[in-house]
Chains A and B, each alone.
Chain A
């Protein structure tokens, strides 16, 4: 099979100078680049130049127009990594319908939970029509039952609509583009309404300023197309710069992560992104890479985003794949969120991961990120990754709870301003008000600090635990607990509840995957001990059965849901026969010892 070219021999390279998505596709379609889809074993399966994507999108748009749906009606698309997704997404652009990408499930036995999650999204978006492949249609139909969609079908069903009498009605630059569901818990999904202006502006900034896209760039991606990083970063932004993309299904990556690296090596890709855990999955299989003859020297931008960046994993990845041509300077930490369309800041290209090591006690007690001296080896430290400075035309401020701007190296709320901020969550003014500030800025909900214009992200504000005057970030506790041999990654929720005397106490809920009482008792003790070592606080440890904890629609553990269920006595604890709730609080001796 012939794959799409890496660069256009004649058509001039234009990075994002378009005011609507379809203008960008019209332009890209004049060249030879496009999208390629690879099988689960990494073999080429389908290849569609942008010209063919446009042609098929236009044909479908004509057919959809015969449905006479009101302009701005939502069109739900189960976002498999497939040619159909691209064709339906772009067809909507030509006919004034708002596409709503929907997630897939890859959880064993997760059918019912997935249906519930889809149903909540569908109830919020109220689509007029919905499409899924033949395999996934029964699940979609089950989720959408009774919600009023006029048409639910396979791509072939929509392709069979008559084209006669149809007319195009493309979105103009002042209209919407799509709805992104990636925030909020499973049961309260929040759909970011992304406008044409927001997407074209952010894509231009990413392509021109963040990645400095150039002729000869080629993207590789396994990121789900229902996520902002997959959709904006590895579908729309490359298209608006006429860059070819090589796609692997997310599930292929999950089963065979090295296929991603193989693709980059064989197709000479230059740009690929992943959250830290994707690099971690590759590391688990690193031993198999030796037989693969990988050459990763073409990979100039190995982006990291989407969750807290863990520098130790990236360091191990660079060490393991350095012998295969990977250049650690290719690492590009970034920061963004769906509410800003995607990207807010990128580290400088070519510098790799830069870490700021700060004094852990000062960080926790004084909310200051004070760098450790090189001779301070005995100090407790905490490392944060530099996420660069904000893109041009964007601004970031670290603010306190009263909205005042904080000085450098003081931890506060990351607030942003820029041309691609959402106007709001779709039909959810209450959730919108929590994010949008009166002065037009957006409170990201994240905590961080700045140093000379460089942003460091330290955690999520709404989850922060304040215990005995100490600020504790729950992911720190979760990571610590996950480091225990008997605890699985992603099976821990840490949060605080208000104590009678107005203080907070820490609760750690851990899914337990074995039944022996003695081993459970030992685990509870180990968890208490490691929490104490990590944060210097006592905690209540609750073991719960496997698969008790709830995840958000983007796959993140929902601490808020765990806390709500804890408070409502909705969690069934495993009785381990010991009092797992020792005296709360912090005795003076420990406090002094910790403060040094």
Chain B
């Protein structure tokens, strides 16, 4: 599958998110836009909530948790953050 072309803002959010995700990266896998949060990073349900809190605090946004069921990769998460920053 062709990687989607992302805006520079999203690239920058991906990079911030990868930094934040290091704390949960127990296997020290290489993190990037297409890393799967659930199947590669294996982040558990309690850790997800910790991560959401950190993201909300860092970007000063609210993330409706109902929307995270559509989040699979770091890029999905970055797009969600980007939308919320625009007031989406």
Contact = CB atoms under 8 A, between A and B. Distances in A.
B45 A114 contact: no
B39 A106 contact: no
A11 B62 CA distance: 39
Interface in A85-108: 104-108
Given A104-B66, A108-B71, 20 more contacts: A39-B62, A41-B62, A105-B66, A106-B68, A107-B45, A108-B48, A108-B68, A108-B69, A109-B36, A109-B70, A111-B70, A135-B66, A135-B67, A139-B69, A251-B64, A255-B56, A281-B46, A513-B26, A546-B38, A546-B42
A547 interface: yes
Interface of B: 26-27, 36-39, 42-46, 48-49, 52-53, 56, 62, 64-72
A255 B65 contact: yes
Contact of B49 (A104, A254, A546): A254
Contact of B37 (A106, A108, A114, A284): A108
Contacts of A109: 36-38, 68-72
A34 B86 CA distance: 34
Interface of A: 39-41, 80, 104-111, 114, 135-136, 139, 249, 251, 254-256, 281, 284, 488-491, 513-515, 546-547
A458 B26 CA distance: 36
A301 to B, nearest CB: 26
A547 B62 contact: no
B8 to A, nearest CB: 26
A108 B43 contact: yes
Most interface-central of A41, A111, A135, A249 (chain B CB within 10 A): A111
Given A104-B66, A108-B48, A514-B26, A255 B42 contact: no
Nearest to A104: B66
Given A108-B38, A108-B71, A251 B66 contact: yes
A251 B65 contact: yes
Contacts of B38: 108-109, 546-547
Contact of A106 (B27, B53, B65): B65
A105 B42 contact: no
A546 B66 CA distance: 22
Given A490-B45, A513-B42, A546-B39, A136 B66 contact: yes
Given A108-B71, A136-B66, A547 B52 contact: no
A577 B26 CA distance: 23
A254 B65 contact: yes
Contacts of B72: 108-109
Nearest to A111: B69
Contacts of A491: 44
